[in-house]
Chain A
Amino acid sequence: GAVVSQHPSWVICKSGTSVKIECRSLDFQATTMFWYRQFPKQSLMLMATSNEGSKATYEQGVEKDKFLINHASLTLSTLTVTSAHPEDSSFYICSATNPGLGSGEQFFGPGTRLTVL
Protein backbone atom coordinates (compact mmCIF):
# COMPACT_ATOMS: atom_id res chain seq x y z
CA GLY A 1 0.00 0.00 0.00
CA ALA A 2 0.86 3.66 -0.01
CA VAL A 3 -1.19 5.64 2.46
CA VAL A 4 -0.21 9.14 3.49
CA SER A 5 -1.86 10.95 6.37
CA GLN A 6 -1.80 14.60 7.32
CA HIS A 7 -2.63 16.31 10.56
CA PRO A 8 -4.46 18.52 11.23
CA SER A 9 -7.01 18.47 8.41
CA TRP A 10 -7.87 22.07 9.08
CA VAL A 11 -6.61 24.82 11.35
CA ILE A 12 -7.61 28.39 12.12
CA CYS A 13 -5.04 30.62 13.77
CA LYS A 14 -4.39 34.25 14.58
CA SER A 15 -2.00 36.33 12.55
CA GLY A 16 1.56 36.11 13.88
CA THR A 17 1.30 32.63 15.30
CA SER A 18 3.07 29.51 13.99
CA VAL A 19 1.34 26.39 12.74
CA LYS A 20 2.84 22.93 12.37
CA ILE A 21 1.50 20.40 9.87
CA GLU A 22 2.51 16.76 10.02
CA CYS A 23 2.75 14.37 7.09
CA ARG A 24 3.15 10.65 7.68
CA SER A 25 3.58 7.68 5.39
CA LEU A 26 1.61 4.95 7.14
CA ASP A 27 2.58 1.74 5.41
CA PHE A 28 5.87 2.49 3.68
CA GLN A 29 9.10 4.36 4.23
CA ALA A 30 9.33 7.55 2.25
CA THR A 31 12.81 8.84 1.63
CA THR A 32 11.32 11.79 -0.21
CA MET A 33 8.27 13.84 0.64
CA PHE A 34 6.89 16.89 -1.12
CA TRP A 35 5.00 19.89 0.17
CA TYR A 36 2.50 21.70 -2.04
CA ARG A 37 0.27 24.71 -1.64
CA GLN A 38 -2.92 25.24 -3.57
CA PHE A 39 -4.96 28.43 -3.65
CA PRO A 40 -8.65 28.25 -4.61
CA LYS A 41 -9.22 27.33 -8.24
CA GLN A 42 -5.50 27.19 -8.93
CA SER A 43 -3.13 24.34 -9.61
CA LEU A 44 -0.76 22.69 -7.20
CA MET A 45 2.37 24.69 -6.44
CA LEU A 46 5.38 22.74 -5.25
CA MET A 47 6.91 24.47 -2.25
CA ALA A 48 9.74 22.14 -1.35
CA THR A 49 11.14 18.65 -1.60
CA SER A 50 12.00 17.03 1.69
CA ASN A 51 14.61 14.30 1.97
CA GLU A 52 15.02 12.29 5.14
CA GLY A 53 18.04 13.35 7.13
CA SER A 54 18.97 16.34 4.99
CA LYS A 55 17.86 19.89 4.36
CA ALA A 56 14.80 20.47 2.23
CA THR A 57 15.12 21.86 -1.28
CA TYR A 58 12.88 24.89 -1.68
CA GLU A 59 11.36 26.12 -4.92
CA GLN A 60 12.14 29.59 -6.14
CA GLY A 61 10.16 32.21 -4.31
CA VAL A 62 9.43 30.07 -1.25
CA GLU A 63 10.97 31.50 1.93
CA LYS A 64 12.78 28.74 3.77
CA ASP A 65 12.80 30.73 7.02
CA LYS A 66 9.06 31.13 6.89
CA PHE A 67 8.19 27.59 5.86
CA LEU A 68 10.32 25.31 8.01
CA ILE A 69 10.49 21.72 6.88
CA ASN A 70 11.84 18.86 8.95
CA HIS A 71 12.08 15.28 7.72
CA ALA A 72 13.45 13.57 10.78
CA SER A 73 12.40 10.02 10.00
CA LEU A 74 11.47 7.89 7.01
CA THR A 75 7.78 8.19 7.87
CA LEU A 76 7.38 11.76 9.08
CA SER A 77 7.88 15.20 7.60
CA THR A 78 6.64 18.42 9.18
CA LEU A 79 5.94 21.85 7.73
CA THR A 80 5.85 24.78 10.12
CA VAL A 81 4.37 28.04 8.87
CA THR A 82 6.05 30.64 11.07
CA SER A 83 4.47 34.01 11.87
CA ALA A 84 1.48 33.20 9.70
CA HIS A 85 -0.38 36.00 7.94
CA PRO A 86 -3.73 36.01 6.16
CA GLU A 87 -2.02 35.64 2.77
CA ASP A 88 -0.67 32.28 3.98
CA SER A 89 -4.23 30.96 4.13
CA SER A 90 -4.28 28.07 1.67
CA PHE A 91 -4.65 24.33 1.21
CA TYR A 92 -1.35 22.62 2.07
CA ILE A 93 -0.84 19.12 0.73
CA CYS A 94 2.02 16.71 1.25
CA SER A 95 2.90 13.73 -0.88
CA ALA A 96 5.39 10.90 -0.80
CA THR A 97 6.84 8.42 -3.20
CA ASN A 98 7.08 4.75 -2.34
CA PRO A 99 10.52 3.48 -3.39
CA GLY A 100 9.04 0.01 -3.72
CA LEU A 101 6.83 1.08 -6.62
CA GLY A 102 8.66 1.40 -9.93
CA SER A 103 6.55 4.14 -11.49
CA GLY A 104 7.33 6.62 -8.72
CA GLU A 105 3.87 8.13 -8.53
CA GLN A 106 3.24 10.48 -5.66
CA PHE A 107 0.69 9.54 -3.04
CA PHE A 108 -0.99 12.51 -1.50
CA GLY A 109 -2.12 13.17 2.01
CA PRO A 110 -5.66 14.51 2.46
CA GLY A 111 -4.44 18.08 2.82
CA THR A 112 -4.58 20.72 5.54
CA ARG A 113 -6.71 23.80 5.13
CA LEU A 114 -5.08 26.74 6.91
CA THR A 115 -7.03 29.91 7.65
CA VAL A 116 -5.14 32.79 9.19
CA LEU A 117 -7.33 35.48 10.73
Chain B
Amino acid sequence: GQNIDQPTEMTATEGAIVQINCTYQTSGFNGLFWYQQHAGEAPTFLSYNVLDGLEEKGRFSSFLSRSKGYSYLLLKELQMKDSASYLCAVRDSNYQLIWGAGTKLIIKP
Protein backbone atom coordinates (compact mmCIF):
# COMPACT_ATOMS: atom_id res chain seq x y z
CA GLY B 1 0.00 0.00 0.00
CA GLN B 2 0.92 3.63 -0.19
CA ASN B 3 1.90 5.45 2.95
CA ILE B 4 3.03 8.88 4.08
CA ASP B 5 4.36 9.28 7.62
CA GLN B 6 4.89 12.54 9.47
CA PRO B 7 4.80 13.39 13.18
CA THR B 8 1.38 14.19 14.57
CA GLU B 9 2.43 17.23 16.54
CA MET B 10 5.51 19.34 17.23
CA THR B 11 6.19 22.27 19.53
CA ALA B 12 8.77 24.99 18.97
CA THR B 13 9.68 28.40 20.31
CA GLU B 14 9.18 31.71 18.56
CA GLY B 15 12.39 32.73 16.76
CA ALA B 16 13.77 29.19 16.67
CA ILE B 17 14.13 26.65 13.84
CA VAL B 18 12.02 23.53 13.39
CA GLN B 19 12.30 20.60 11.00
CA ILE B 20 9.24 18.56 10.07
CA ASN B 21 10.05 15.17 8.58
CA CYS B 22 8.08 13.16 6.06
CA THR B 23 8.78 9.62 4.88
CA TYR B 24 6.87 7.96 2.09
CA GLN B 25 6.32 4.64 0.38
CA THR B 26 4.40 5.08 -2.85
CA SER B 27 3.97 3.35 -6.17
CA GLY B 28 6.23 5.61 -8.18
CA PHE B 29 7.19 9.19 -7.55
CA ASN B 30 6.38 12.34 -9.47
CA GLY B 31 7.05 15.05 -6.96
CA LEU B 32 6.53 15.93 -3.30
CA PHE B 33 4.55 18.90 -2.03
CA TRP B 34 4.34 20.70 1.28
CA TYR B 35 1.21 22.63 2.20
CA GLN B 36 0.34 24.79 5.19
CA GLN B 37 -3.14 24.67 6.67
CA HIS B 38 -4.35 27.02 9.39
CA ALA B 39 -7.23 25.79 11.51
CA GLY B 40 -10.55 26.14 9.73
CA GLU B 41 -8.94 27.17 6.46
CA ALA B 42 -7.97 25.44 3.23
CA PRO B 43 -4.36 24.39 2.56
CA THR B 44 -1.95 26.75 0.85
CA PHE B 45 0.98 25.62 -1.27
CA LEU B 46 4.45 26.00 0.25
CA SER B 47 6.94 24.03 -1.82
CA TYR B 48 7.52 21.41 -4.47
CA ASN B 49 10.47 19.01 -4.80
CA VAL B 50 10.98 16.60 -7.64
CA LEU B 51 14.78 16.32 -7.67
CA ASP B 52 17.04 15.51 -4.73
CA GLY B 53 18.29 18.43 -2.74
CA LEU B 54 17.21 21.56 -0.97
CA GLU B 55 14.72 24.14 -2.23
CA GLU B 56 14.84 27.42 -0.33
CA LYS B 57 12.06 29.95 -0.30
CA GLY B 58 12.49 32.69 2.26
CA ARG B 59 12.15 31.34 5.80
CA PHE B 60 11.00 27.97 4.51
CA SER B 61 13.16 25.27 2.90
CA SER B 62 12.26 21.80 1.73
CA PHE B 63 14.62 18.88 1.22
CA LEU B 64 14.15 15.67 -0.73
CA SER B 65 16.01 12.37 -0.91
CA ARG B 66 14.26 10.06 -3.36
CA SER B 67 16.53 7.10 -2.58
CA LYS B 68 15.54 7.31 1.09
CA GLY B 69 11.89 8.19 0.48
CA TYR B 70 12.39 11.16 2.76
CA SER B 71 11.69 14.85 2.85
CA TYR B 72 11.76 17.57 5.45
CA LEU B 73 10.36 21.06 5.74
CA LEU B 74 12.59 23.50 7.60
CA LEU B 75 11.09 26.63 9.09
CA LYS B 76 13.47 29.33 10.34
CA GLU B 77 12.90 32.39 12.52
CA LEU B 78 9.59 30.99 13.67
CA GLN B 79 6.72 33.41 14.10
CA MET B 80 3.50 32.90 16.00
CA LYS B 81 1.60 32.93 12.69
CA ASP B 82 3.48 29.77 11.67
CA SER B 83 1.30 27.82 14.08
CA ALA B 84 -0.59 25.57 11.67
CA SER B 85 -0.70 22.06 10.29
CA TYR B 86 1.87 21.14 7.67
CA LEU B 87 0.84 18.55 5.11
CA CYS B 88 3.22 16.41 3.10
CA ALA B 89 1.84 15.00 -0.17
CA VAL B 90 3.46 12.77 -2.78
CA ARG B 91 2.36 12.41 -6.39
CA ASP B 92 2.57 8.78 -7.45
CA SER B 93 3.12 7.14 -10.83
CA ASN B 94 -0.54 7.72 -11.73
CA TYR B 95 -0.17 11.41 -10.86
CA GLN B 96 -2.46 10.89 -7.86
CA LEU B 97 -1.66 12.94 -4.76
CA ILE B 98 -1.19 10.83 -1.65
CA TRP B 99 -1.62 12.95 1.48
CA GLY B 100 0.00 12.61 4.88
CA ALA B 101 -2.11 13.17 7.97
CA GLY B 102 -0.34 16.45 8.67
CA THR B 103 1.87 17.73 11.47
CA LYS B 104 0.36 20.23 13.87
CA LEU B 105 3.02 22.79 14.75
CA ILE B 106 2.54 24.73 17.97
CA ILE B 107 4.66 27.85 18.42
CA LYS B 108 5.22 29.11 21.95
CA PRO B 109 6.41 32.60 22.85
The reply to whether B45 and A46 contact each other, CB–CB distance below 8 Å, is no
The reply to whether A46 and B99 contact each other, CB–CB distance below 8 Å, is yes
Using a Cβ–Cβ cut-off of 8 Å, how many residues does chain B contribute to the interface with A?
18
Task: Decide yes or no whether A54 CB sits under 8 A from chain B.
Answer: no
The reply to whether A43 and B44 contact each other, CB–CB distance below 8 Å, is no
A71-114 near B? 1/0 per residue, CB < 8 Å: 00000000000000000000101010000000111111111010
The reply to whether A110 and B31 contact each other, CB–CB distance below 8 Å, is no
Nearest CB on B from A26, distance (A): 15
* A110–B42 alpha-carbon span in the complex (Å): 5
The reply to whether B45 and A106 contact each other, CB–CB distance below 8 Å, is yes
Residues of chain B within 8 A (CB-CB) of A93 are 42-43
The reply to whether B44 and A108 contact each other, CB–CB distance below 8 Å, is yes
* A34–B95 alpha-carbon span in the complex (Å): 13
The reply to whether B99 and A44 contact each other, CB–CB distance below 8 Å, is yes
Residues of chain B within 8 A (CB-CB) of A106 are 33, 45, 97
Q: Please name the residue on chain B nearest to A44 by beta carbon.
A: B99
Beyond A42-B101, A105-B45, list 7 extra A-B contacts (CB 8 Å): A46-B99, A103-B50, A104-B31, A105-B33, A108-B43, A110-B41, A110-B42
Q: Which 5 A-B pairs have the closest CB atoms?
A: A108-B42, A43-B101, A103-B48, A111-B42, A105-B45
Q: List 30 A-B contacts (CB under 8 A).
A: A34-B97, A42-B101, A43-B87, A43-B99, A43-B100, A43-B101, A43-B102, A44-B43, A44-B87, A44-B99, A46-B97, A91-B40, A93-B42, A103-B48, A103-B50, A104-B31, A104-B91, A104-B95, A105-B45, A105-B48, A106-B33, A106-B45, A106-B97, A107-B45, A108-B43, A108-B44, A110-B41, A111-B41, A111-B42, A113-B40
